[in-house]
Amino acid sequence: MHKKIKCLYTVNNSKCFSKEGILVDFWLDFPSHLLSQDFELQIIQPYYDEVEKLNISLEKLDREITLTLGERQCKLEFLKGILHNKIPIIFIKCNIFDHNLSNFDDIVMEDFDLIYQISFFNHAVLEYIKLNYFIPDVIHCNGFETGLIPVLIKKLYYNISIFNKIFTIIFIKDFSEQGNFDPSYFGITGLPWTCYNLYEMEFWGNFSLLKAGIIFSDGVLFWSNKKNMKYYIEEHSFGFKGILENRKKTFWTFPVGVDYSKLKCNYSLRNYEKNKIINKKKLIDKLNLKIKPSLPLIALVGSLELYTHDEKFDSFIDILYDLDVGFIICGSVNKKIITHSRNYSKAYRDKFGFITSLDNKHLSNILGSCDMLLITKLQEKFPLLHLYSLGYGTIPIVSNLYAITEGIERYNYSTMIGNGFCFETGNISALLGKIITATNIMYHEKHSTFIIKNAMKTNFNINDSVRKYTQIIKTIINRKSVK
């Protein structure tokens, strides 16, 4: 019988779940697809207070441990549940995980509590393995928040035989999220101070959890479909260029993919125009907008807060109103920002429709009705929304932050190649300019036809991602077996 690869998939983010307990983050959506391949899998993550809102039946495992790091001691409990009747998930419960400190909107990177939380979680993952409930072939580490796991195995757990057969990979989606901390917190990690050196964890006067994961893991996977990775790493690796060059034999790019069945489009390229107009008319009527369905409709997703401090912001809203375009404004924060702008009046309601809560049904309706999708900021709940929009022929206009430009090829007016638009983050003039450029393209029959075709022919199927991931894992296993 074919032996399956046993994978322990680590995650440190409670916001991977919607209120209904649905997986909404790529990092947790992806493992559900691995089960259809050669994997036996468990997800493991901290038990945050948000988990109590989920409709998951949890069973407390019969063994618990007490762990001491620095000046803190914590009793660890392990709770097991099943997601969607198929994915085993282990929650590690202790009082340090009461609140999710990994929200990047609020995080202070030198936070004393944060390094405690990360250290306890990383140690707890390995203590769970020691209890023999599940001994994996591979530990999948997600980002810097699980970057301590590879170094702990090599430096602290190396004399425990079960860990000699386990290999680790670290999965990175953005090199700017590094987990850099002041050296005064290093003792909290439980690692010997000998690890704090230029060749291991020291990074520009701090210690870096992402560097630790890259240096000590058996494989480094990067979340990307980009063709020219050499150029990208030179420009956007945030100080990790030399480190990655040293790991080039065990560095793989990992293609991004989405499950198109989650936000299924009700039309194809063949009947795009007819159905898009029908969908748009329904949404316009529902939101009581006073615009013709023939006008372009732009959906705004992602907060405008970053731009409100610009002295041009009120003028920006006024100019949007003057454009021959309708807007669907998503989110309660954006509604408050726009309705409180200096010149906002009842007349603006003719062109500005508001949807304050988002779920899959709303998103499918928005993508199927709008001509363009404006994303000003990475969405924690829907980080790959721009890839879904391509399948709808809804042209993305995105911030140039890496995670939301992935899969977007900027449209070239001369060659008519490309599927979207990018603007400089935080620059309100650049944002406005790109909205106007995109609108002009959509008004131009020839160019709008080309960019819509380019978008809808783009394919980022998650099954391709799963196949590539499986190949990489098998390659790493074979290399380690030879050694």
| pLDDT at site 482 | 58
| pLDDT at site 106 | 43
CA-closest candidate to residue 313, choices 293, 284, 342: 342
**Do 176 and 225 fall into the same domain?**
yes
pTM here is 0.84
Task: Give the whole-angstrom CA distance, residue 141 versus residue 221.
Answer: 10
By DSSP bridging, strand 138-142 and strand 206-208 are unpaired
By DSSP bridging, strand 202-203 and strand 206-208 are antiparallel
Show Cβ contacts of residue 371 under 8 Å, excluding neighbours closer than 6 positions. Answer: 276, 280, 296, 297, 298, 394, 395, 442
* Token pair for 154: 């090599």
**Do 351 and 443 fall into the same domain?**
yes
**Do 181 and 192 fall into the same domain?**
yes
**Do 401 and 358 fall into the same domain?**
yes
**Do 302 and 250 fall into the same domain?**
no
| pLDDT at site 107 | 41
**Do 407 and 475 fall into the same domain?**
no
Residue stretches of the chain with pLDDT short of 70: 1-2, 13-28, 53, 98-110, 226-232, 378-381, 402-404, 480-483
Residue type, 131: L
- Per the structure, how many domains does the chain have? 2
Task: Give the whole-angstrom CA distance, residue 155 versus residue 174.
Answer: 26
**Do 280 and 234 fall into the same domain?**
no
Show Cβ contacts of residue 201 under 8 Å, excluding neighbours closer than 6 positions. Answer: 151, 186, 191, 195, 207, 208, 211, 212, 215
**Do 200 and 275 fall into the same domain?**
no
**Do 113 and 149 fall into the same domain?**
yes
Describe the strand order of the beta sheet including 421-423 as a list of residue ranges.
352-355, 326-330, 297-301, 372-375, 395-399, 421-423
By residue range, what is the domain housing residue 265?
Answer: 260-457
**Do 451 and 420 fall into the same domain?**
yes
CA-closest candidate to residue 120, choices 161, 151, 87, 92: 92
**Do 355 and 476 fall into the same domain?**
no
| pLDDT at site 432 | 96
Q: Find the CATH number of the domain harbouring 438.
A: 3.40.50.2000
**Do 121 and 225 fall into the same domain?**
yes
Q: What is the DSSP string of 87-133?
A: EEEEEEE-GGGSS----TTT--TT-HHHHHHHHHHHHHHHHHHHTTS
